[in-house]
Chains A and B, each alone.
Chain A
């Protein structure tokens, strides 16, 4: 079964895949340089800082001497990353040796940043103009609510009472890989759609942002501008108000989309209007691996396979419905049961047992979250068992060989199949063997050469 995974990594991979011309333009912005510097592996950071004030190319051999022999692989990884991001420019000197030099644009921006300090293009607004700023807790609640509303609309537009302002064409873009629509039927979640719902908020956000950026060219927006604005946004302070008039026209046009996603909150005063970045925005430049934001969970799983979810959110209910049978719903509580049938439904939709278990663990109610195990072991084991029950029979297309003329030929054929990693079964006494279909031609060639 082919496994569909949504690759959600980070901004930097996206930056690395941009054409050189655009990259150089991006590096004119000091914040991008800082974000890049932050994202580098430790050795990479060291190299950049050491070469920061050197204007001539440095031989690759010299760089190698800086690390101990057993750090060589890390050295390679760092150098590759730097070259990939075009922070290092590779060249060959007269003696045919490889040399590295910092990208001049990047170097200039970073030097400036180091000496003058980073200043945002806009200052927070004084508090006498911006009355009734939300508290940090309010802001986080707002961001999550906005995000949830967006997700609900994404999976089924009929579920939301007040739809957000995201244009339906943009929504279609986001849905493209998560929903599949056959004519006249209601759209259905695809395999990656199901997996998407079980992902962590940051991973989901990153997926949506990635779609947003990769689709930007079709909407006539420059991807480089978009990336640089989002990275810049991630350096703003959470909860501070920034004047909307300080944005360029282009930025103003996309800030509404970002507000709908919950990245910023827009507010209006008597004369001015301003935006307030939320936690979702500032988490953007952090790579997903090291963002460990834990939300308060809401699920309690009991040993009798009952699931109690203390939640008012319809999204949570929809998610639980993916793999359990929702039995009743009270205003603040959803009660469901994990049954064999409900799980088989989930497995059919391409959700794996591990994903379900990790969802239950990550969203555990605070009352059970510090217990070990968070989810009762008999439940997790049973979920895994039911999954493996589906895979009790393994079938592989293959070829069966018998009647080998001699043991040498038989063993040679076995070795050939083994070399290609295609030997499924052998019986050396009776001289029979089974190989994968893909390896059949190699074995046949071998047998021909033996004649």
Chain B
């Protein structure tokens, strides 16, 4: 019998995929959100985590920039 799961399909580059996998590994077991890792650049995750992932990535990006103080 064919099985269908609702979720969010993520397509990104390899480093970003690793970052997301790492993010998934660092949360407690009950909050794990990756359903399937499809290949090195694609994965399938829980439908409700889209915003969470986006804000995490934005924070990661900000941590890596330095603003010259005025």
Using a CB–CB distance below 8 Å, which chain A residues touch chain B? 339-341, 389, 392-405, 409, 413, 424-425, 427, 432, 434, 437, 440, 444, 447
- Mark each residue of chain B from 17 to 58: 1 if its CB lies under 8 Å from any CB of chain A, else 0: 000100000000000000110110010100100100110010
> Contacting B4 at CB < 8 Å: which of A339, A340, A395, A399?
A399
Check A341 against B44 for contact (C-beta < 8 Å).
no
Residues of chain A within 8 A (CB-CB) of B8 are: 395-398
Check B12 against A398 for contact (C-beta < 8 Å).
no
The size of the chain B interface, using a CB distance under 8 A, is: 29
Check B7 against A392 for contact (C-beta < 8 Å).
no
Assembly CA distance A357 to B34 (angstroms): 38
Assembly CA distance A379 to B24 (angstroms): 36
> Contacting A341 at CB < 8 Å: which of B2, B20, B54, B67?
B67
Closest to A426 in B: B38
Residues of chain A within 8 A (CB-CB) of B39 are: 427
Residues of chain A within 8 A (CB-CB) of B7 are: 397-400
A295 to chain B, nearest CB (A): 33
Closest to A397 in B: B8
A396-B11, A434-B9 given; A440·B53 CB < 8 A:
no
Assembly CA distance A424 to B6 (angstroms): 14
Check B53 against A395 for contact (C-beta < 8 Å).
yes
Residues of chain B within 8 A (CB-CB) of A425 are: 9, 38, 42
Closest to A327 in B: B70
Check A340 against B9 for contact (C-beta < 8 Å).
no
A-B contact pairs, 19 of them (CB 8 A): A339-B67, A341-B65, A392-B57, A393-B16, A393-B53, A394-B12, A395-B53, A396-B11, A397-B7, A397-B8, A398-B44, A399-B7, A400-B44, A401-B4, A403-B1, A425-B42, A427-B39, A434-B44, A447-B2
Assembly CA distance A403 to B67 (angstroms): 51
Residues of chain B within 8 A (CB-CB) of A341 are: 65, 67
Does B13 belong to the interface (CB within 8 Å)?
yes
Which of A424, A434, A440 is the most central at the interface, judged by chain B CB atoms within 10 Å of its CB?
A434
Which of A394, A398, A440 is the most central at the interface, judged by chain B CB atoms within 10 Å of its CB?
A398
Q: Besides the contacts A395-B50, A400-B5, A403-B3, what 10 more A-B pairs have beta carbons closer than 8 Å?
A: A341-B67, A392-B16, A393-B10, A393-B57, A394-B11, A399-B6, A401-B2, A425-B42, A427-B38, A432-B36
Assembly CA distance A83 to B35 (angstroms): 57
Residues of chain A within 8 A (CB-CB) of B61 are: 389
Residues of chain A within 8 A (CB-CB) of B35 are: 400
A146 to chain B, nearest CB (A): 36
A341-B67, A432-B38 given; A402·B3 CB < 8 A:
yes
B54 to chain A, nearest CB (A): 7
Residues of chain A within 8 A (CB-CB) of B12 are: 392-394
Residues of chain A within 8 A (CB-CB) of B4 are: 399-401, 440, 444
Closest to B58 in A: A390
The 10 A-B residue pairs with the shortest CB-CB distance, nearest first, are A398-B9, A393-B12, A400-B5, A394-B11, A403-B3, A396-B9, A400-B44, A434-B9, A399-B4, A424-B9
A403 to chain B, nearest CB (A): 5
A389-B61, A425-B38 given; A395·B10 CB < 8 A:
yes
Residues of chain A within 8 A (CB-CB) of B50 are: 395
Residues of chain A within 8 A (CB-CB) of B36 are: 400, 432
Assembly CA distance A394 to B67 (angstroms): 27
Assembly CA distance A150 to B11 (angstroms): 46
Residues of chain A within 8 A (CB-CB) of B11 are: 393-396, 424
Check B2 against A340 for contact (C-beta < 8 Å).
no
A270 to chain B, nearest CB (A): 57
Check B16 against A395 for contact (C-beta < 8 Å).
no
Residues of chain A within 8 A (CB-CB) of B13 are: 392
Residues of chain B within 8 A (CB-CB) of A432 are: 36, 38
Which of B2, B16, B44, B53 is the most central at the interface, judged by chain A CB atoms within 10 Å of its CB?
B2
Closest to A391 in B: B12
Closest to B16 in A: A392
A395-B10, A398-B7, A399-B6 given; A405·B1 CB < 8 A:
yes
Closest to B1 in A: A403
